[in-house]
Amino acid sequence: MSKNKPKNDSKKRTGVFICHCGINIAGTVDVEKVSKELAGHEGVVFSKDYVYMCSDPGQKLIQDAIKEQNLDNVVVACCSPSLHESTFRNATKSAGLNPYQCEIANIREQCSWVHKNKENATNKAVKITKSIVEKVKLNESLEPISIPVTRRAMVIGGGIAGIQAALDIANGGHEVILVEKSPSIGGHMIQLSETFPTLDCSQCIMTPKMVEVSKHPKIKLMTYSEVQEISGYVGNFKVKILKKPTFVDPEKCTLCDECTNVCPVVVENEFDLGLTGRRAIYIPFPQAIPATYTLDINNCPGLLPIACGKCADVCEPNAIDYDQKPEIIEEEVGAIVIATGYDLYGKNKIAEYGHGKYPDVLDGLQFERLLSASGPTKGKILRPSDHQEPKEVVFIQCCGSRDPELHKSYCSKICCMYTAKHAMLYKHHVPDGQAYVFYIDIRSGGKNYEEFVQRAVEEDGVVYLRGKVSKIFQNNGKVTVWGVDTLSGKDIEINADMVVLAMAMQPAEGSEEIVKKLKVATDKDGFLAEAHPKLRPVESITSGMYLAGAAQAPKDIPEVVAQASGAASKVQSLFSADRLQHDPIVAVVDEDVCSGCKLCIPICPYDARIFDEEKGIVTVNEVLCEGCGSCIAACPSGAAQQKNFTDDQIYSMVDIILKGE
């Protein structure tokens, strides 16, 4: 194991600082013993334990020792480096030592928290700390890599999350490109009727924000557009955006609607989720931004050669332009906010509930459209099958959520609230009707949320039944629901007029593709993963990319708006510096040893490996490199090394662990 191992520079003076972390470490590890053992280790000239090393007195202890003991390097044995590495490196720097001469020995997550036997845990803590002492002796003093920053941002997704983030960044004085894949911004919020818990009209609070986006001098709005390619790194991304042709010139269009009157094609209207139809040339909804028509190339009888042309014939201002072509627009931005939102779990996913098969079985968003004054029934609750007012409606929660065996294991979080809203609004529209809600538990955590659910029960007489529904089927013009009430232990059969399913929320359709292009991580359910679940909830693990809205997890509007503003403020703080600092712990290549085999190129997840044709070797783009070490493991000749994680350092550490010295 000690092959190629150079002699450690034993003249280097190392200080070791062992943190008790209250009883988090000291409860399982004999910290005094660790300190004593380390004091006798080669090169260690100072060793001390302290109750909270991260506290001000703890940091001062380290700084004083650096100066008084003339230390060359420092090891702090404490919690994970992801929590306090920067704290101790900053403290080291303030005492005049290069911060990369400070290393963390993780004796909490990797030792005290996972062991019960104090003697064994103490021995392990000693080994871990000694191994890090061996590593730090060979550390190089490094300087952060300085990179320029382009102070423009791109926001992907024009729902409430993207709109809020774009407005906040733009109001902070920076240019924003807002990219939305559909013909209008607004996302799902613009489809909603009234919103819990205040029951204010969704469109009334959303449309002013949409207009503000369209008029904002710092926002470049690109609807019907998608990110096609992205390269670069934090502060310096290059993006290619595909702008699809709408075949209508918005400058000339007067919104007279003559084109839709003559268009012979009728297809499902996505905005009304199939409850109405639309023409092949259409405006998604009356308040759409931009306010113009789109010619849907997939459903138009034909453009090349023109097979119909009726819309162009009646368009007086000549706004129809069949010659429009897709355009690729290149932009440079310094930061990206991803706000691609959610979709509901697919229609046919729960066959036993008959969604997509029985016309009077709807999902929550379809019911929102029925409730909406701008919806297919102008706000009247009418059954899709016969346009009669339903007198008994069953609402079913957790359709596909909290079902790890068959569907999604997670809770979709907002369904309890919107189902209470649906049942309540139904009763407001049909006072002599009866609403039933099947639920597993009611989760109404949020300001005024519990009171809202209670109101549905107490004031509107909604009947809540605790239990699951096993089957829904059509029966003599009714929709029969078989379920069980687990509180009374009775089987329940309701011959309802309509059923509304609270389907699980899932990442928006196509999000896998955009995630791959952006190279951001997702969780097991495909939602965007945050850099740290508690401490960095709006950052992705890729520097310069931030998360907002339901693309990260199911969320309601207040939470989405708060997170979007959080992401925007992160972007603004990134833009506040003249230059950015990149961690210098990156891969390096020994040019004399590299054979140019290129194995490292496809392995690098950050595209940081580049083949230098002239030299016949593979080099590293230090700014793109995130120091993950994949290329080092893959390099067959050992030409690739990671700064401060060299083979020699790893061998020294392993020697300590194996020999127990």
E strands, 249-384, in order: 266-268, 277-279, 281-282, 294-295, 327-333, 335-338, 342-344, 361-363
E strands, 382-529, in order: 392-399, 434-439, 463-466, 469-475, 478-485, 490-496, 498-503, 505-507
Considering the rule CB under 6 A, would residue 219 count as an interface residue with ligand FAD?
Answer: no
Nearer Cβ to ligand FAD, position 49 or 539? 539
Considering the rule CB under 6 A, would residue 154 count as an interface residue with ligand FAD?
Answer: no
Q: What's the 3-state SS for 608-653?
A: CEEEECCCCEEEECCCCCCCCCHHHHHCCCCCEEECCCCHHHHHHH
Nearer Cβ to ligand FAD, position 114 or 328? 328
Number of alpha carbons in the 13 Å side-chain half-sphere of residue 402: 16
Identify the residue among 124, 349, 421, 609 touching ligand FAD (CB under 6 A): 421
Identify the residue among 43, 544, 549, 627 touching ligand FAD (CB under 6 A): 549
Identify the residue among 180, 360, 497, 626 touching ligand FAD (CB under 6 A): 180
Using CB under 6 A, which of the segments 1-9, 339-347, 472-480, 604-612 binds ligand FAD? 339-347
Nearer Cβ to ligand FAD, position 133 or 528? 528
| Angle between the N-to-C axes of helices 81-94 and 56-68, in degrees from 0 to 180, rounded to the nearest 10 | 50
CB 585 within 8 A of CB 643: yes
Terminal CA-to-CA distance of the chain, rounded, Å? 14
Rounded to 5°, angle at Cα 654 from 651 and 658: 135
Q: How far is the CB of 500 from ligand FAD (least distance, A)?
A: 9
Identify the residue among 187, 235, 376, 400 touching ligand FAD (CB under 6 A): 187
Q: How far is the CB of 161 from ligand FAD (least distance, A)?
A: 3
Using CB under 6 A, which of the segments 74-82, 102-110, 174-182, 275-283 binds ligand FAD? 174-182
Considering the rule CB under 6 A, would residue 413 count as an interface residue with ligand FAD?
Answer: no
Q: What are phi and psi of 536, to 5 degrees?
A: -135, 60
Stretch (H or E) spanning 194 = strand 194-195
Rounded to 5°, angle at Cα 346 from 343 and 347: 125
Q: How far is the CB of 275 from ligand FAD (least distance, A)?
A: 14
Identify the residue among 340, 540, 644, 652 touching ligand FAD (CB under 6 A): 340
Token duo for residue 635: 């390099």
Q: Which amino acid is at 32?
A: E
Considering the rule CB under 6 A, would residue 544 count as an interface residue with ligand FAD?
Answer: no
Token duo for residue 138: 């060979």
Using CB under 6 A, which of the segments 51-59, 245-253, 265-273, 413-421 binds ligand FAD? 413-421
d(CA 370, CA 192): 10
Considering the rule CB under 6 A, would residue 550 count as an interface residue with ligand FAD?
Answer: yes
d(CA 161, CA 560): 6
Considering the rule CB under 6 A, would residue 372 count as an interface residue with ligand FAD?
Answer: no
Rounded to 5°, angle at Cα 120 from 119 and 126: 90
Identify the residue among 43, 157, 400, 467 touching ligand FAD (CB under 6 A): 157
Alpha-helical (H) ranges within 69-174 are 81-94, 118-137, 160-171
> CB-based contacts of 613: which residues, under 8 Å, 6+ apart?
none
Q: What track of x and - describes contact with ligand FAD for positions 557 through 576 (by CB under 6 A)? A: xx-x----------------
Using CB under 6 A, which of the segments 35-43, 167-175, 396-404, 553-561 binds ligand FAD? 553-561
Considering the rule CB under 6 A, would residue 181 count as an interface residue with ligand FAD?
Answer: yes
The site for ligand FAD, by CB under 6 A, has a size of: 40
Q: How far is the CB of 567 from ligand FAD (least distance, A)?
A: 11
Nearer Cβ to ligand FAD, position 469 or 548? 548
Considering the rule CB under 6 A, would residue 376 count as an interface residue with ligand FAD?
Answer: no
Considering the rule CB under 6 A, would residue 156 count as an interface residue with ligand FAD?
Answer: yes
Considering the rule CB under 6 A, would residue 364 count as an interface residue with ligand FAD?
Answer: yes
Considering the rule CB under 6 A, would residue 196 count as an interface residue with ligand FAD?
Answer: yes
User: How many of the other CB atoms lie within 10 Å of CB of 224?
Assistant: 18
Nearer Cβ to ligand FAD, position 130 or 181? 181
Identify the residue among 153, 339, 574, 620 touching ligand FAD (CB under 6 A): 339
Q: Which of residues 439-498 bind ligand FAD (CB under 6 A)?
A: none
Considering the rule CB under 6 A, would residue 342 count as an interface residue with ligand FAD?
Answer: yes
> CB-based contacts of 313: which residues, under 8 Å, 6+ apart?
262
Q: What are phi and psi of 561, to 5 degrees?
A: -65, -40
Nearer Cβ to ligand FAD, position 58 or 390? 390
Using CB under 6 A, which of the segments 328-336, 464-472, 550-558, 590-598 binds ligand FAD? 550-558
d(CA 31, CA 124): 12
Nearer Cβ to ligand FAD, position 162 or 376? 162
Considering the rule CB under 6 A, would residue 365 count as an interface residue with ligand FAD?
Answer: yes
E strands, 352-433, in order: 361-363, 392-399
d(CA 643, CA 652): 15
User: How many of the other CB atoms lie within 10 Å of CB of 652?
Assistant: 22
Q: For the chain, give the number of residues.
A: 661
Considering the rule CB under 6 A, would residue 284 count as an interface residue with ligand FAD?
Answer: no
Identify the residue among 24, 195, 294, 543 touching ligand FAD (CB under 6 A): 195
Considering the rule CB under 6 A, would residue 226 count as an interface residue with ligand FAD?
Answer: yes
Considering the rule CB under 6 A, would residue 192 count as an interface residue with ligand FAD?
Answer: yes
Interface contacts to ligand FAD, rule CB under 6 A? 156-162, 179-182, 187-189, 192, 195-196, 226, 339-342, 344, 364-365, 368, 414, 418, 421, 508, 510, 514, 549-551, 555-558, 560
